[in-house]
Amino acid sequence: MQALVYTGTEKLEYKEFKDPNLVDGESIIKVSASGICGSDMHAYHGKDERRIPPLILGHEVSGIIEKGSQKGKKVVLNPLITCGECDYCTNNREHLCSKRVLLGMNRPIERQGCFAELVSTPDKNIYELPEGLDIKKAPIAEPTAVSLHAVELGQEVLKKDLHNSRILIIGGGAIGLLCALILEKYKKCHEVILVEPNENRLKVCSNYLESDTYKPDDKRISDNSFDIVFDTVGLEITRQNAIKAVNPGGVIVHIGLTQPSGTFNFRKATLQEITFVGTYCYTNRDFEKTLSLLSNNSLGKLEWIEYRELNKGAKAFKEIHDGTCSAPKIILIP
């Protein structure tokens, strides 16, 4: 098969790669579409110890079963593979399983990803493509599940009604935009602000949101003025901006993984009882709920997605790296 292979820091090659082997309890999927995730960019930058070249990246995926018990079925994959037996897995918190692995990783267990013509996955991670969801748009299910989980986790710990809260979203990538859409269209929140430094991306977000959209240094983003802040970037500077912006007794939901450390105002967090919540992925229930939201068009038109051919995927990565890409999400088509 042909695949887009991560071969070194900031290096991707479109080339021949070995086909996956069919094993018991799994199916081989002919990939229809696969999305570029922020974690794929971390690997591309050589900053992910779980993804070591050579490796096929990618875990946001839809396709058609080519080999397996349900051959020919159109599907979307939940790429988060867990043991199914630990306390977390048996108590609907499988996303915290210590043995969890993801498609497109080779540490601690090799699982080749979806930037390829074919991918192998456990049958338990396969969901039939729901009616109303375009197979080429379906990879957006995975980041939508991440965003839904983050919003509902924040809602759970917030000491006031989310509906009546003032909300700040830092970052206009797919996770940030999806958080905003979920808050607006599903949670019916009316005071949401999204900030993004990339002017082109900010304009795209503003076209699909009713909420206000600003650059991060806009004077209307005042200190101590938001009940809940979603940091979808995870830079030292965005964490600093989040702690400045949040109200006493407020919540910061930290989703981004860009920088693992840095200075942070723990004094304010302590004195003002700020709740800081980290979140990485989602549960199976979140993923199932997401498919329902997307198939019912509950989050509006997904025309902000941009599509590229897989054999030109290296250029797409480079544009994201350079900051010249305005689309919150690029999906690659084999």
Q: How far apart are CA 6 and CA 2, in angstroms?
A: 13
| Coil, strand or helix at 184 | helix
pLDDT at 256: 83
CA separation, residue 317 to residues 9, 32, 214 (Å)? 12, 19, 25
Query: Mind listing the pLDDT tens digit for each residue in 247-275?
Result: 999 999 999 888 989 999 999 999 999 99
Tell me which residues of the chain have a pLDDT lower than 70. Answer: none
pLDDT at 291: 98
pTM of the predicted structure, to 2 decimals: 0.97
| Coil, strand or helix at 208 | helix
Q: How far apart are CA 43 and CA 47, in angstroms?
A: 6
Domains with residue ranges and CATH for the chain:
2-137+302-333 (3.90.180.10), 144-278 (3.40.50.720)
Query: Mind listing the pLDDT tens digit for each residue in 83-103?
Result: 999 999 999 999 999 999 999
pLDDT at 303: 96
Tokens of 244: 């400045």
pLDDT at 257: 85
